[in-house]
Structure 1
Amino acid sequence: MSTQTDFAALFPDEVVTEARTRLLDVPGLRGKLALITIDNGHDHTKPSTFGPGGLTSLNTALDEAFAAEPAAIAVTGKPFVFAVGADLSGIGQISQREHAHQVAKTGHDVFRRLTESTIPTFAFVNGATLGGGLELALSCHYRTVSEGVSAVAFPECFLGLFPGWGGTQLLPNLIGADSAVSVIIENSLNQNKMLDAKKATGLGIFDELLGSADFLEESVRWAVRVANGEQTVQRPEVDRGQAWDDAVERAKGIVQARTQGASPAVTRAVELIELARGNDLDAGYAAETEALADALMSDELRAGLYSFDLTQKRAKKPAGAPDKSLAREVNKVGVVGAGLMAGQLALLFVRRLQVPVVITDVDQGRIDKGVAYIHGEIDKLAGKGRLSPDATNRLKALVTGSLDKAAFADADFVIEAVFEEMSVKQKVFGELEQHVSPEAILATNTSSLSISEMAAQLNNPERVVGFHFFNPVAVLPLLEVVRGAKTDDGALATAFSVSKQLKKSSVLVSDAPAFVVNRLLTRFMGEIIATVDEGTPFDVADRALTPLGLPMSPLVLLQLVGPAVAQHVNETMHAAYPDRFGLSDNLDRFVKAGKTAVWQSDEAGNQVLDPEVAELWVQGSNPSTEEQVRERALRALAEEAQLMLDEEVVAEPHDLDLCMILGAGWPFWLGGITPYLDRAGHAEQVNGKRFLPRGVASVPTA
């Protein structure tokens, strides 16, 4: 067992989670109940975690509990929180594997005391239980959970890690390999999906679901019955035969589809679940310890922690955002347009702000169709149980349509979602200015056009702001908030305030062509298309980025974005930077032919090149290899990212990373685009310098 002083230098910021033991006289129990409460001393917004100090405290509490020879031992948490896992604050400072190994072994040593206890042990899970917190609960013999608990999960794979304090061994042997694959791998890689108490109990993770009002009292009564033998906890037998094989194969398929093998720790998670079939804790824990020590020394984990820090901290306090006191209240929203994007925007605004939302368009038919779409989506939410009947009716009543932009007269925030053409958007804003108040914010969802030019002819250009969402609007969390040449702090502060109410993560971006995500993706995609034009086979070009584990291949991304949209953005970029953003005659023909995808499925379901695309695409005779395509695309990204920083499109490299993680699905385990380009050497090769200091999002030199 390590001590707190072993790692004090590596975890200087640890808020030590104290574990306090109380000996309780409980009616009906033949002896005392040793109740251990986990509490880091903060309010419920600061969840309890386990660093070296916390594990030492828990170990001491267990010493006290066992010394008292009680009839039962139980572990619970402070209000609203059981425990949310390991304290990762010092992981980035570990530079020696022996230290990583000690961290890995310590968690096993402490938690296993509960598993191997001859005294019955219980976990009373009263709040959020994630990662190491869930492993602590699994280490107990029995578990109750409060019906109010909404966060039960193993989020480790999302970060480029795996449950390493018993989770990969205990969970499959409790609920079966297939369900364990869902919890440990599938849910984690699915944007860190959480289970609520009812679903977790249904899977067999918990033995008893109890009401939240008197949860602790009821848990104690239940534990007394179990400890006295009055109540038997029955669990289904785990199938260790073909079902286990099938689960492992399913896990391998999920990992390949989601990571392309680019996250070693996730692959190790599958191997550890496979090993758990033997239900040998000595072998399983030893393997977990070695694997966790390796993972803690990996660049992938450091990158994942860097990404996590960005999304949890920087995203909540956007760099450069004006003081929030300057924000104006928004009590009514206008949306110009009634198409799919406008409908998605209107739905988001009415759901999150719960204020009147009015949409306009050029004819009543389009307006009626737009309102019907929004109402239909609200009905779908109600059908899934996410809205009550009253809430459904209230939200639908807040959405209206009008042919007359005078309906925006009392709107505080109006966003346009019309055709991506400068003259069209200027005309819309000019018309809006005749109706809205001088204080109303005029926002544009443009993906690439100049905010300053859009506002240039207005009487009040200072209230125009870019508000660039990503599709699908309800899913992708990023919002690029764009400051035009004359945008004032009040407009920006209001934009950031609205973004927060919409539950989006915002990054302040200057008014440069295509802003951040689309500029980087367009440069990257342009290089891929150029290699195909030169003669590289489509499949070779499309496989080139597979080692990165991106969420989709370049040509599949082209299909998702829409070739016409991609071509329009590329034309904007070519006009601004013709030396770096070329135009492809082939892509132009592709779009004019009405094609939307390069690939199609054959009768066997295999992905094959569309013969019509092969016929219209005129290729040269200078093909590249996968490695050459990959190097070319990444070097282009390194160049473009540095130019954007030189132009002050964003404040720091961290903002480029945040944009790509939240807006383009750049994997957590790559740590954003700049750390990856640093580690791969492209930043120094192209720009002569790194984006970030050494040791940021990578293993420091010992």
Structure 2
Amino acid sequence: AFNLVQKHAKKPSGAPDKALAVPVTKVGVLGAGLMASQFALLFLRRLEIPVVITDVSQERIDKGLSYIIGELDKLVEKGRLSTDDRNRYAGNLSGSLDYAAFSDCDWVIEAVFEELKIKQEVFAELEKHVSENCILATNTSSLSVAEIGSKLANPERVVGFHFFNPVAVMPLVEVVRAPKSSDQAVATAMNVAKNLRKTAVITSDSAGFVVNRLLGYLLGEAMRAVDEGASFEQVSEAIAPLGLPMNPFDLLELVGLKVGAHVLDSMHAFSSDRFYASANLHKLAEYGKLIDRDAKGNIKGYDKKAMEIVGNGLGKGRSSEEIFESVNLGLAKEVKLMLDEGVVQSAQDIDLGMIMGAAWPFHLGGITPYLDRSGASERAFGGTFHDPMIIGIKG
């Protein structure tokens, strides 16, 4: 895994010539919500260039600006940022309802509501105001990058640039090359990722890209087991040998139950025979709670009402061993399909994405060496991802 992160990350598979990248001297952010504001803050601190944000109302813009300035002030209070740097970053920040303020941007990223029509509309309006060389990046996690750019006069300028939450902490960015994305757009995205000190993996414009495709499968199988009658505890314990830092239900609570349900629905629409969509997860999302916490926010267990919604684990579900085997086989099949489809160029890209974007255990060396060693690859498709197999670190 060390070799993977140190070497493969520095020379990403499929990266165009770095010389093609557009020099980025000003950044635009479409949206002023929490995610968009986190983007703006990161661009201010890492790129140290002007950043302009916009949204549907001045009130929302002002709220975003206040959040960003507030975060800078917190860093000063903690001694992690000098007052001079704070003032310089604040001076580089602006907000405007007028897209004309984006006319001199070289890179604009959208973080608006996850709905195709809205993303198409904001990009179409923006295109009237920016130069032909301005790269338009979308942070979509579930929509087609090609479709987002399909209404533009210059769709080749559009590229996916998918961050992971929390933005400042998670080291991965998925750079998504749509069929019409130019080498210039992809090279610029890779250069921006590098300057943000992020690790980038280039993927094709396929549902879920890398990380959400595999996590979507895992979360779907966890909910399938619950819907069949297993308890939250049994499923968590069954999947625990994977070594992920959070069990599936803690992860669903973290990303948001509505977001989780949306991801599962999107992947189910992509392939209904492989990805499970749970009606119970929608009921849990409506209820709004899965985990029971104490006054300090520490996890006490699962919420009683949530357990009632899914049936309290009283059904005749599969054994823990059967659940774990099913998850392993499914992951192996999905990774093989991703490689066959050309979603990424190598198994190492998937390993890097899962380590950096899903906190896959570093000592296991990546998901594909793990699947080989566990025998899941052989059972799933009669082969292995690596020959010879990669040995992990015993921890």
TM-score, length-scaled by structure 2: 0.96
- C-alpha deviation, 1:482, in angstroms: 0.3
Matched, 1:360 2:80: no
Q: Secondary structure at the match of 2:202?
A: strand
2:120 to 408, 423, 426: 426
Matched, 1:513 2:207: yes
| Structure 2 partner of 1:569 | 263
In structure 2, the CA distance between the partners of 1:547 and 1:582, relative to structure 1 (3 Å rule), is closer
Distance in structure 2 (CA, Å) of the matches to 1:336 and 1:697: 45
Distance in structure 2 (CA, Å) of the matches to 1:337 and 1:649: 29
Asked if the contact 1:544/1:626 (under 8 Å) is kept, the reply is: yes
**Aligned amino acid, residue 445 of structure 1:** N
Asked if the contact 1:469/1:479 (under 8 Å) is kept, the reply is: yes
CA deviations on 1:403-459 (whole Å, 9 max, x unpaired) are 112211111000000111111111111111111111100000001210111111110
**Aligned amino acid, residue 478 of structure 1:** L
- C-alpha deviation, 1:698, in angstroms: 4.8
In structure 2, the CA distance between the partners of 1:573 and 1:554, relative to structure 1 (3 Å rule), is same
Distance in structure 2 (CA, Å) of the matches to 1:497 and 1:684: 38
CA deviations on 1:311-342 (whole Å, 9 max, x unpaired) are 11111111110000001110100000001100
Distance in structure 2 (CA, Å) of the matches to 1:350 and 1:410: 16
| Structure 1 partner of 2:357 | 663
Asked if the contact 1:534/1:620 (under 8 Å) is kept, the reply is: no
Asked if the contact 2:30/2:110 (under 8 Å) is kept, the reply is: yes
Tell me the matched-pair count. Answer: 391
Q: Aligned Cα RMSD in Å?
A: 1.6
Q: Secondary structure at the match of 2:337?
A: helix
Matched, 1:344 2:38: yes
- C-alpha deviation, 1:602, in angstroms: 9.6
In structure 2, the CA distance between the partners of 1:690 and 1:353, relative to structure 1 (3 Å rule), is same
Asked if the contact 2:253/2:289 (under 8 Å) is kept, the reply is: yes
2:304 to 592, 598, 611: 611
- C-alpha deviation, 1:358, in angstroms: 0.5
Distance in structure 2 (CA, Å) of the matches to 1:551 and 1:362: 37
Distance in structure 1 (CA, Å) of the matches to 2:379 and 2:303: 37
- C-alpha deviation, 1:381, in angstroms: 1.5
**Aligned amino acid, residue 279 of structure 2:** D
Matched, 1:502 2:175: no
In structure 2, the CA distance between the partners of 1:629 and 1:600, relative to structure 1 (3 Å rule), is farther
Q: Secondary structure at the match of 2:9?
A: helix
1:476 to 146, 167, 170: 170
**Aligned amino acid, residue 496 of structure 1:** M
Distance in structure 2 (CA, Å) of the matches to 1:395 and 1:458: 32
**Aligned amino acid, residue 612 of structure 1:** K
| Structure 1 partner of 2:81 | 387
Distance in structure 1 (CA, Å) of the matches to 2:254 and 2:169: 14
Distance in structure 1 (CA, Å) of the matches to 2:316 and 2:127: 54
Structure 1 spans left out of the alignment, 5+ residues: 1-306
**What's the % identity of the aligned pairs?**
54
Correspondences of 1:86-485 after superposition (within 5 Å): 307-485=1-179
In structure 2, the CA distance between the partners of 1:597 and 1:606, relative to structure 1 (3 Å rule), is closer
Asked if the contact 2:15/2:186 (under 8 Å) is kept, the reply is: yes
In structure 2, the CA distance between the partners of 1:503 and 1:606, relative to structure 1 (3 Å rule), is closer
TM-score, length-scaled by structure 1: 0.54
In structure 2, the CA distance between the partners of 1:513 and 1:587, relative to structure 1 (3 Å rule), is same
**Aligned amino acid, residue 307 of structure 2:** A
Structure 2 spans left out of the alignment, 5+ residues: none
Distance in structure 2 (CA, Å) of the matches to 1:398 and 1:656: 37
In structure 2, the CA distance between the partners of 1:606 and 1:657, relative to structure 1 (3 Å rule), is closer
CA deviations on 1:36-60 (whole Å, 9 max, x unpaired) are xxxxxxxxxxxxxxxxxxxxxxxxx
Distance in structure 1 (CA, Å) of the matches to 2:301 and 2:168: 32
Asked if the contact 1:602/1:608 (under 8 Å) is kept, the reply is: no
**Aligned amino acid, residue 597 of structure 1:** L
Distance in structure 1 (CA, Å) of the matches to 2:52 and 2:275: 39
Q: Secondary structure at the match of 2:380?
A: helix
Q: Secondary structure at the match of 1:313?
A: helix
**Aligned amino acid, residue 248 of structure 2:** P
Distance in structure 2 (CA, Å) of the matches to 1:529 and 1:616: 12
**Aligned amino acid, residue 423 of structure 1:** K
Asked if the contact 1:462/1:486 (under 8 Å) is kept, the reply is: yes
Q: Secondary structure at the match of 2:108?
A: strand
CA deviations on 1:510-567 (whole Å, 9 max, x unpaired) are 0001100000000011011100000011110111122232211111111111111111
Asked if the contact 2:364/2:392 (under 8 Å) is kept, the reply is: no
Distance in structure 2 (CA, Å) of the matches to 1:310 and 1:663: 14
Distance in structure 2 (CA, Å) of the matches to 1:379 and 1:506: 29
Matched, 1:578 2:247: no
In structure 2, the CA distance between the partners of 1:586 and 1:602, relative to structure 1 (3 Å rule), is farther
CA deviations on 1:63-96 (whole Å, 9 max, x unpaired) are xxxxxxxxxxxxxxxxxxxxxxxxxxxxxxxxxx
| Structure 2 partner of 1:257 | none
Distance in structure 1 (CA, Å) of the matches to 2:82 and 2:299: 43
Distance in structure 2 (CA, Å) of the matches to 1:329 and 1:614: 53
Distance in structure 1 (CA, Å) of the matches to 2:331 and 2:293: 29
**Aligned amino acid, residue 558 of structure 1:** L
CA deviations on 1:95-151 (whole Å, 9 max, x unpaired) are xxxxxxxxxxxxxxxxxxxxxxxxxxxxxxxxxxxxxxxxxxxxxxxxxxxxxxxxx
